[in-house]
């Protein structure tokens, strides 16, 4: 029988992607949708400015949107996907977990908390067991797992693939799509014919989340990886797909050919939403590109290309679909991991 799921922040950019991925999902059945008080009481069709490819699924379109409050979500919902603004998430997500709901969340609040697993299943699925520590410490029947920021998810799988060479220092410069800021994030007057070399708090997220993801969990505590990461983040006028330029210094010699092999052979998983191949490596120096490559693996793959030597070690470009692999798809994958590991 399918697990009954709810979506918090269902009307937003990530919420709509969640609906798109969850509606046909064989293991999940959408049973609750929430948003802000201004959407509560409206049908989903009325409340959401639907902006993703294809129509709103029929059974979702007429569902009434609720306020984002544990009392408004049916008790028989077993799993919540949260795509709330972090200011809202920091207040309401713990209340849902305290009320007994298990949650897979996108929001940036609590990602760096010591007892909150931050998970990319192909990279650090073992960190999920931090949920036992979380439940002990917080006394929750529910639980909260987070996926990282969309720009972090784009480059961390490539770093994980190179980890055997001993990661020392990483520099990353991002070219991020406008959908990463949500519907009300960047006005057209700001971004058309322009690039904005600042995204609030984004650099810190790449630098800290990557070390947590690559860290070791010993069953009780998580130690963060020692790799030094420096990030520079830019918003550009693409709709979807974050492109990143990366420089990696390693302990051991690492040729572009060995790096390409390590990335191309880095294993995917057998979860429902896992791509067959996690990292696609292009030989062409002008790939990956957002418009051409963001939909690889139904938007769940990472693309890399332009691998070459530089005076700062290995240099390459990578790309992922920010609202699928970087957000909604990442949450769904974590939901599948929770299911596989008996948390639902």
108 sits near ligand NAP (criterion: CB under 6 A): yes
Best CA proximity match to 169, nearest among 286, 311, 322, 266: 311
List binders of ligand NAP among 140-159 (CB under 6 A). Answer: 149-150
Can residue 15 be called a binding residue for ligand NAP (CB under 6 A)? Answer: yes
**Site residues for ligand NAP, window 286-325 (CB under 6 A)?**
322-323
Residue 250 binds ligand NAP (CB under 6 A): no
Task: Please answer whether residues 226 and 251 qualify as being in contact, where contact means their C-beta atoms are separated by less than 8 angstroms.
Answer: no
Among 45, 168, 169, 183, binds ligand NAP (CB under 6 A): 183
25 is catalytic: no
Does position 335 interact with ligand NAP (CB under 6 A)? The reply is no
* Closest among 171, 174, 185, 132 to 149, alpha carbons compared: 174
**Interacting stretch for ligand NAP, rule CB under 6 A, among 106-114, 156-164, 198-206, 278-286?**
106-114
Element (H, E) at 208: helix 202-213
Cis amide bond preceding 288, omega within 30: yes
14 touches ligand NAP (CB under 6 A): yes
The contact pattern for ligand NAP, residues 198-237, with x = CB under 6 A and - = no contact, is ----------------------------------------
Catalytic site residue 242?
Answer: yes
**Of 97, 150, 233, 318, which is the active-site residue?**
150
Task: Report which residue's Cβ sits closest to ligand NAP.
Answer: 12
Smallest separation, CB 252 to ligand NAP (Å):
33
- For 166, half-sphere exposure in the C-beta direction (CA atoms, 13 angstrom radius) is 5
How many chain residues interact with ligand NAP (CB under 6 A)?
31
Per CB under 6 A, the list member of 5, 60, 80, 84 interacting with ligand NAP is 84
CA atoms lying within 13 Å on the CB side of residue 130: 26
In DSSP terms, 33 is beta-bridged to 7
Of 242, 280, 318, 321, the active-site residue reads 242
Q: Does 104 bind ligand NAP (CB under 6 A)?
A: no
Binder of ligand NAP out of 5, 19, 30, 39 (CB under 6 A): 39
Candidates 183, 287, 291; CA nearest to 240 is 291
- Residue 245 found at the interface with ligand NAP (CB under 6 A): no
**CB proximity list for 4: less than 8 A, separation 6 or greater:** 29, 31, 32, 74, 76, 77, 78, 79
Give me 149's structure tokens: 């920021």
Both tokens assigned to 235: 């918003």
Measured CA to CA, the distance from residue 99 to residue 94 in angstroms comes to 8
Question: Would you say 35 or 206 has its CB closer to ligand NAP?
Answer: 35
> Which is nearer to ligand NAP, 36 or 295 (by Cβ)?
36
What does DSSP say about strands 167-176 and 228-235: parallel, antiparallel, or unpaired? parallel
179 binds ligand NAP (CB under 6 A): yes
Does the protein bind ligand NAP through residue 71 (CB under 6 A)? Answer: no
Question: Cα–Cα distance between 266 and 17 in angstroms, integer?
Answer: 26
Enumerate the active-site residues: 150, 242
* Contact footprint for ligand NAP (CB under 6 A): 9-15, 35-36, 38-39, 68, 83-86, 88, 106-108, 149-150, 179-180, 182-184, 322-323, 326-327
């Amino acid at each position: 029988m399918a697990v009954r799921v709810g979506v918090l922040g269902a009307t937003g950019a990530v919420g709509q992607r969640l609906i798109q991925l969850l509606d046909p999902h064989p293991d999940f059945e959408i049973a609750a949708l929430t948003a802000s008080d201004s959407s509560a009481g409206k049908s989903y069709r009325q409340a959401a400015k639907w902006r993703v490819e294809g129509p709103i699924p029929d059974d979702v379109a007429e569902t009434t949107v609720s306020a984002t409050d544990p009392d408004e979500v049916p008790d028989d919902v077993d799993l919540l996907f949260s795509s709330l603004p972090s200011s809202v998430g920091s207040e309401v997500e713990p209340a849902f977990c305290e009320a007994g709901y298990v949650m897979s969340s996108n929001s940036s609040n609590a990602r760096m908390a010591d007892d909150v697993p931050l998970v990319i299943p192909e990279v650090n699925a073992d960190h999920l067991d931090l949920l036992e520590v979380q439940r002990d410490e917080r006394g929750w029947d529910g639980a909260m797992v987070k996926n990282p920021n969309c720009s972090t998810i784009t480059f961390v799988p490539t770093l994980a693939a190179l980890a055997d060479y001993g990661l020392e220092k990483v520099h990353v410069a991002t070219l991020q799509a406008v959908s990463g800021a949500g519907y009300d994030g960047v006005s057209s007057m700001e971004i058309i014919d322009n690039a904005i070399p600042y995204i609030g708090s984004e650099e810190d997220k790449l630098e800290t989340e990557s070390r947590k993801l690559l860290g070791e969990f010993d069953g009780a505590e998580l130690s963060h990886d020692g790799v030094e990461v420096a990030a520079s983040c830019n918003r550009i006028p693409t709709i979807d797909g974050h492109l990143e330029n990366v420089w990696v210094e390693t302990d051991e010699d690492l040729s572009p050919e060995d790096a390409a092999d390590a990335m191309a052979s880095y294993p995917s998983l057998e979860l429902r939403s896992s791509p067959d191949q996690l990292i696609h490596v292009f030989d062409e120096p002008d790939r990956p590109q957002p418009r051409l490559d963001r939909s690889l693996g139904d938007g769940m793959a990472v693309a890399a290309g332009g691998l070459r030597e530089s005076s700062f070690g290995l240099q390459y470009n990578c790309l992922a679909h920010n609202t699928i692999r970087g957000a909604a798809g990442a949450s769904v994958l974590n939901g599948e991991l929770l299911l596989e590991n008996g948390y639902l």
